[in-house]
Amino acid sequence: MKHFIIQLIFLGLISTSCMEQAGGRRVELLDNNWQFINEDIDGAELLDCNTDNWEIVTIPHDWAIKGPFDEDIDKQSGIIRQNNEKIATQKTGRTGALPHVGVGWYRKTFTVPDYTASKRVLLTFDGAMSQPQVFINGKKAGEWKNGYNYFYFDISQFVQAGDNLLAVRLENQPYSSRWYPGAGLYRKVQLIVKDEVSFKHWGHFITTPQVSNESATVNIRSNLNGKGVYVKTLIKDADGNIVARHQSEVSDGNEVEQTIVVQYPAIWDVDTPNLYYAELNLYKNGVLKDQETVRFGIRKIEYNADKGGFLLNDKVTKFKGVCLHHDLGPLGAAVNKAALKRQLTILKDMGCNAIRSSHNMPSLEQLELCDEMGFLFLAESFDEWKKPKMQNGYNLFFDEWAEKDVVNLVHATRNHPCIVMWSAGNEVPDQWGKEGVERARWLQDIFHREDPTRPVTVGMDQVEATMKSGFGAVMDIPGLNYRVHLYDEAYEKFPQGMLLGSETASTVSSRGFYRFPVKPIKDDYNASIAQKEAIYGDTYQCSSYDLEYCGWSNLPEDDFVLQDDKPWVIGEFVWTGFDYLGEPTPFDQFWPSRSSYFGICDLAGIPKDRYYLYRSRWNTEDETLHILPHWNWEGREGETTPVFVYTNYNSAELFVNGVSQGIQTKGKGKTLQHRYRLMWMDVKYEPGTIKVVAFDDNGKVVAEKEVHTAGKPHHIELSADRRNIHADGQDLAYVTVSVVDIDGNLCPYANHQLEFEVSGAGQFKAVCNGDATSLEMFHKPTMKAFNGQLVVTVQSMNETGDIQLKVKSEGLKTASITIKTK
Ligand code: GAL
């Protein structure tokens, strides 16, 4: 053993970081000094002190995000029945064309200096992609299958005095995912040391069964190990003031229940996300054995068809939601709170109030942010049950693991006030047939058993089948994915009296790209490559006139009318808030497309035009007045070049070089689009200025906006989402880089190769231009602008000071920006 320990020291694996200590409990983040190898190894190699082939990494880590992109990675051939395909095709880039397939090993040493026989040592993972097998000192401590779920093992029996070797084996199969899943230990790993007499992991369940402005009842059920114990509880508000105290009875069982009243509570709501903290102290014979602080919110949720659907604190609230995959674009799947916060900040400004974690368990960081920022959350579990979508998908594990997965999902996340609904699945092929109905009931019962306070939905795409089989009638809330033509019938047939647009739109667009003539294009999933090229050309981009959609999906307005005209539709979750890696429909057979076109924002996080369409109806506080397209159409002089305006105002007048193109008013016009967009379809292009003047309902001019034909690229403009970030080695600033003309107008075709240099108290982290066909790597400090723009991400280090980012390109004046770290 001694030899083994010496080897570990030699390997440089020993480190500790970030400890907390309270009431005998110690939580240690295992984040740095991990070693990683992207191949399978045997036990001897695991213990081999030769580190040559191992890379030192920090967790969270995504081993595949540095690429390179390769069309042969997980090239998926066949018919996607779920998409109604009839002909087998070969899909490149469906899982992002990044090297996530294969085996990876991570290893690290840790010590447990406070270990004694009366202690319990837990190892917790917030997710590990995928099929993690965990070894302590060469012995298997446990395994999990689902790459997205939280899991933990009690490793007390494996731990020894001195140094211990933790190793994790992960494996991603080809044909196991429909999008880029990421690879590796992409979420946090922690070591918890606590007394044997202690709270169980995820042991607390805090609910607020009665809420009014005058008082709230807080119910806390705590699972624990120990007899003759009692819990002293302090409820604190966000400023740390104690607002209530309570001491439980002495317990000889393994659960303590407390009911505590909070007077005049600060209620959690999307506009006022007030939070409380329950400090739970576990005592035995007067000795503090364990302490945990659990954050929660006081809020009331109700689903009641007679009262108008979903009520948050007694107020009917519609879900103005988006679906999000877990990847963070150029950062891959490696979770980063600053990146998540930026996404939510952008969505909040759009007026979005809800997130669906499609199609899996969300990161805990995302839930924390939604609690803090005031988002409602639909937490999803599975994309597959027992019937396969992917040959190596979750179907292989469903029977043995589904219950365990649901239990962990609920236990790990149930105290987050943001979660208002569970989803047991997305478009599972089990929607067909009797067995599927039983499976739906079985899963829903597990959710109910573990959490009686929230309803359960499933995103259903086979709506006709679910009407016939009873599947849709089983779920607490029937969720419809697309199928707008079936809403009325489903409302009639299902007994719940309300429907949720659990997934909507799937409109596709590329930032800054416009196709002429301007007309709707419904993608034909059975078209040949040649037929598709005849429609789309060879740019593999979708038009930002926002009229292109998939064979199974629709345009935003098809959902808007349902939301607006059917009071029993309780809201929608648009597919998707941000572009994600993989699933490049409608170009999934066209290399080099490797990321989605569905996003309201592109992969770099830059809002596409569509952002303003949603903002114009969802953000009811601020003005939206957005003109598209750009006005640089050299070669199109005199040709019809429609102009659209997305605005919260009902009417506006458009001018081209001072000449009125007439007034457009919402609701006047033949198509659904006319109800929500102002569209001047006959504008003839001439360079110069387009100006829109908006009117209020009395015809008074209330706002104006102009777009100018840009001149030659002249310089680079930089703008950061945040100029002050934390000096914690994690925080990020996102700098949008725009190539502009001498007057600062965006040059909408600029595709300069840009170079980035970061100096001072930070480092270059990643770059992304939002072009779904770019094969440039995100971690290299150079990239082409896409339609004039891209976004550079810089990361702080553990030192305060200034970070300087310089952006250079031949022929353009170098630009620089300073970000402060504190
Ligand atoms: C849905 C599916 C999503 C995504 C989307 C694309 O049917 O649930 O995961 O594939 O289609 O339109």
Any idea which of 50-64, 244-258, 411-425, 525-539 has the lowest mean pLDDT? Answer: 525-539
Task: Let me know if 83 is exposed, middle or buried by CB neighbors in 10 A (0-12, 13-18, 19+).
Answer: middle
First to last CA, the chain: 44
Mutate to test the pocket of ligand 1, among 506, 525, 596 (most ligand atoms within 8 A of CB): 506
pLDDT in tens, 267-284: 999 999 999 999 999 999
pLDDT in tens, 24-53: 899 999 999 999 999 999 988 888 878 889
Average pLDDT in the 7-12 region? Answer: 40
Q: How far is the CA of 592 from the centre of ligand 1 (A)?
A: 20
Reading the block at residue 356, the tokens are 């669906």
DSSP-assigned letters across all residues of 529-553: HHHHHHHHTTS----TTS-EE-TT-
- What count of other Cβ atoms lies within 10 Å of the Cβ of residue 429? 19
Pairing of strands 89-91, 76-78: antiparallel
pLDDT in tens, 609-653: 999 999 999 999 999 999 999 999 999 999 999 999 999 999 999
Query: Within 6 Å (CB) of ligand 1, which residues are found?
Result: 359, 426-427, 461, 481, 503, 506, 550, 553, 575, 583, 585
Atom of ligand 1 nearest to the CA of 506: 12
Active site members: 427, 503
Mutate to test the pocket of ligand 1, among 575, 578, 579, 583 (most ligand atoms within 8 A of CB): 575
Q: How far is the CA of 325 from the centre of ligand 1 (A)?
A: 11
Atom of ligand 1 nearest to the CA of 583: 10
Atom of ligand 1 nearest to the CA of 82: 7
DSSP state of 810: T
Percentage of the chain exceeding pLDDT 70 = 97
Q: Indicate the CATH number for domain 5-18+197-296.
A: 2.60.40.10
Asked whether the predicted pLDDT for residue 779 surpasses 90, the reply is yes
pLDDT score of 87: 82
pLDDT score of 51: 84
Q: How far is the CA of 486 from the centre of ligand 1 (A)?
A: 18
Atom of ligand 1 nearest to the CA of 553: 12
Q: Are 229 and 256 spatial neighbours (Cβ–Cβ below 8 Å)?
A: yes
The protein residue with its alpha carbon nearest to ligand 1, atom 6, reads 506
Mutate to test the pocket of ligand 1, among 583, 597, 598 (most ligand atoms within 8 A of CB): 583
pLDDT score of 15: 39
Average pLDDT in the 764-787 region? Answer: 98
- Rounded Cα distance between 51 and 615, Å, is 52
- Reported as a pLDDT band with limits 50, 70 and 90, residue 22 is low
pLDDT score of 9: 37
- Crossing angle for the helix pair 609-618 and 556-565, to the nearest 10 degrees: 10
Query: What CATH class has 327-335+376-578+587-618?
Result: alpha beta
- Rounded Cα distance between 546 and 521, Å, is 10
Atom of ligand 1 nearest to the CA of 550: 12
- What count of other Cβ atoms lies within 10 Å of the Cβ of residue 253? 10
- Rounded Cα distance between 665 and 661, Å, is 13
Distances (CA, A) of 176 to 131, 385, 596: 11, 13, 18
The protein residue with its alpha carbon nearest to ligand 1, atom 12, reads 506
The protein residue with its alpha carbon nearest to ligand 1, atom 3, reads 575
Q: How far is the CA of 148 from the centre of ligand 1 (A)?
A: 18
Distances (CA, A) of 550 to 391, 486, 587, 594, 611: 24, 17, 11, 17, 19
- Rounded Cα distance between 164 and 138, Å, is 9
Instruction: State the chain's maximal CA–CA distance in angstroms.
Output: 88
Q: Going by C-beta distance under 8 Å and a sequence separation of 6 or more, which residues neighbour residue 240? A: 277
Average pLDDT in the 1-10 region? Answer: 38
- Rounded Cα distance between 533 and 590, Å, is 10
Partners of 14 in beta bridges = 109
Three-state secondary-structure class, residue 766:
strand
Query: What CATH class has 631-708?
Result: mainly beta
The protein residue with its alpha carbon nearest to ligand 1, atom 11, reads 506
In degrees, to the nearest 5, what angle opens at C-alpha 714 toward C-alphas 687 and 775? Answer: 95
Q: How far is the CA of 571 from the centre of ligand 1 (A)?
A: 18
Reading the block at residue 320, the tokens are 């103005």
pLDDT in tens, 419-454: 999 999 999 999 999 999 999 999 999 999 999 999
Nearest alpha carbon to residue 321 among 677, 614, 673: 614
Q: How far is the CA of 5 from the centre of ligand 1 (A)?
A: 50
pLDDT score of 21: 55
Q: How far is the CA of 503 from the centre of ligand 1 (A)?
A: 8
Asked whether the predicted pLDDT for residue 778 surpasses 90, the reply is yes
Q: Which amino acid is at 549?
A: Y
- Rounded Cα distance between 540 and 596, Å, is 11
Atom of ligand 1 nearest to the CA of 427: 8
Same fold for the domain at 5-18+197-296 and the one at 26-64+100-194? no
Atom of ligand 1 nearest to the CA of 426: 8
Mutate to test the pocket of ligand 1, among 359, 427, 509, 573 (most ligand atoms within 8 A of CB): 427
Could you tell me which residue, 255 or 81, shows the higher pLDDT? 255
Q: Indicate the CATH number for domain 715-821.
A: 2.60.40.10
- Rounded Cα distance between 569 and 166, Å, is 50
DSSP state of 554: -
Reading the block at residue 48, the tokens are 């081999």
pLDDT score of 84: 77
- Reported as a pLDDT band with limits 50, 70 and 90, residue 3 is very low
Q: How far is the CA of 397 from the centre of ligand 1 (A)?
A: 22
- What count of other Cβ atoms lies within 10 Å of the Cβ of residue 466? 27
DSSP state of 158: G
Q: How far is the CA of 644 from the centre of ligand 1 (A)?
A: 27
Q: How far is the CA of 82 from the centre of ligand 1 (A)?
A: 9
Q: How far is the CA of 93 from the centre of ligand 1 (A)?
A: 15
Percentage of the chain exceeding pLDDT 90 = 92
Asked whether the predicted pLDDT for residue 388 surpasses 60, the reply is yes
Asked whether the predicted pLDDT for residue 20 surpasses 80, the reply is no
Q: How far is the CA of 559 from the centre of ligand 1 (A)?
A: 16
Atom of ligand 1 nearest to the CA of 596: 6
pLDDT score of 1: 34
The alpha carbon of residue 566 and the mean position of all alpha carbons in its chain are separated, in whole angstroms, by 28
Atom of ligand 1 nearest to the CA of 83: 7
pLDDT in tens, 133-183: 999 999 999 999 999 999 999 999 999 999 999 999 999 999 999 999 999
Average per-residue pLDDT in the chain?
Answer: 95
Atom of ligand 1 nearest to the CA of 461: 7
Nearest alpha carbon to residue 30 among 104, 111, 100: 111
Q: How far is the CA of 450 from the centre of ligand 1 (A)?
A: 28
Q: How far is the CA of 574 from the centre of ligand 1 (A)?
A: 10
- Rounded Cα distance between 772 and 784, Å, is 13
Break the chain into its structural domains and give their ranges: 5-18+197-296, 26-64+100-194, 327-335+376-578+587-618, 631-708, 715-821
- Rounded Cα distance between 722 and 820, Å, is 9
Atom of ligand 1 nearest to the CA of 459: 8
Fold of 26-64+100-194: Jelly Rolls (2.60.120)
pLDDT score of 4: 39
Task: Let me know if 634 is exposed, middle or buried by CB neighbors in 10 A (0-12, 13-18, 19+).
Answer: exposed
Q: Going by C-beta distance under 8 Å and a sequence separation of 6 or more, which residues neighbour residue 439? A: 385, 386, 430
Q: Going by C-beta distance under 8 Å and a sequence separation of 6 or more, which residues neighbour residue 779? A: 65, 66, 330, 765, 766
